[in-house]
Every structure is written in structure tokens, then in C-alpha cells.
Amino acid sequence: MRPGRAHLFERMHELAITQSILQIATDEARRVGASRIRVIRLRLGALTDIVPESVQFYLDALTRGTPSEGVRLETIPVPVGATCGGCGHSFIVQEYDLTCPRCGGTGKITQGRELQVDSLEVES
């Protein structure tokens, strides 16, 4: 396989994800009587391996010729967070270290896998 093509195949899973994001946004826009989606804000966890530029690329392709053509993706990054099983302290994970900074116990990941539509900007 030529260089560059592997990247294309690695990013193909984002097409299905983008289709789902767009469906959620379209359903909500219809529910509130909006005719056009201008912005989709997406909560995106650090552990999702989703590349926002790829999602925007697919949004551009999927909305071409529709009322939502030109929709802009804005991401709200969600860092990896954990909660200590020993003392209950919640903390942001640094360099994949799940050691609790308060007591030295081991934390369990509690955030960073998010992939959800947070809000929309629409027009009627």
C-alpha cells in the first residue's frame, strides 16, 4: 500500500461516527423547528482517537447541497480523568499515570472517553 493510503483507511471509521453525529444534530434541529445547523459542538474525550479535522471533512461532504452545508464543528476537549479507589479523590491523569496524587492509590478512569453532541447553533 502506498504511503498516505493507510491514513485514509485508519480515518474511515470517522465517516460512520460523523454520520451518527449529523443524524443526532439533524433530529434535534428538526425537533426545535430549525431549518439549518450552523455549528455542532462536540464533547471529545482524549481517549477517543477521533481527529476533529477528519470529522469536519466528512461533515463537509455529507452536508454538501443541503441546508446545513458549511456546518462548523467545534470541539470541547475532555482530558483523561480518574477517581482513586482508596480515597475517592478525582484527578486529571498526567502522562498515563493513574497514581492518586493525594494518597498514592490507584485511580480508575472516569472521563476521557466522551463523544457526544453537547450543543448546536441553528437558525430557523
CATH classification at residue 23: 3.30.2320.50
Residue 69 lies in a domain: yes
Domain that holds residue 72: 5-79+113-123
The backbone region for 49, taken as left when phi is positive above 0, alpha when psi lies in -120 to 50, beta otherwise, is left
Residue 90 lies in a domain: no
Residue 39 lies in a domain: yes
pLDDT for the residue 27: 97
Question: Which helix H or strand E contains 24, and what residues bound it?
Answer: helix 13-31
Residue 60 lies in a domain: yes
Kindly state the average pLDDT of the residues 85-104: 97
pLDDT band at 13 (very low <50, low <70, confident <90, very high): confident
Report if pTM > 0.95.
no
Kindly state the average pLDDT of the residues 36-63: 97
Residue 62 lies in a domain: yes
Total domains in the fold of the chain: 1
Q: Dihedrals φ, ψ of 106, to 5°?
A: -105, 130
DSSP state, residue 34: -
Residue 53 lies in a domain: yes
Number of H helices, E strands in the chain: 3, 6
Residue 96 lies in a domain: no
Burial of residue 99, with CB atoms counted within 10 A of its CB: 0-12 exposed, 13-18 middle, 19 or more buried: middle
pLDDT for the residue 72: 98
Residue 11 lies in a domain: yes
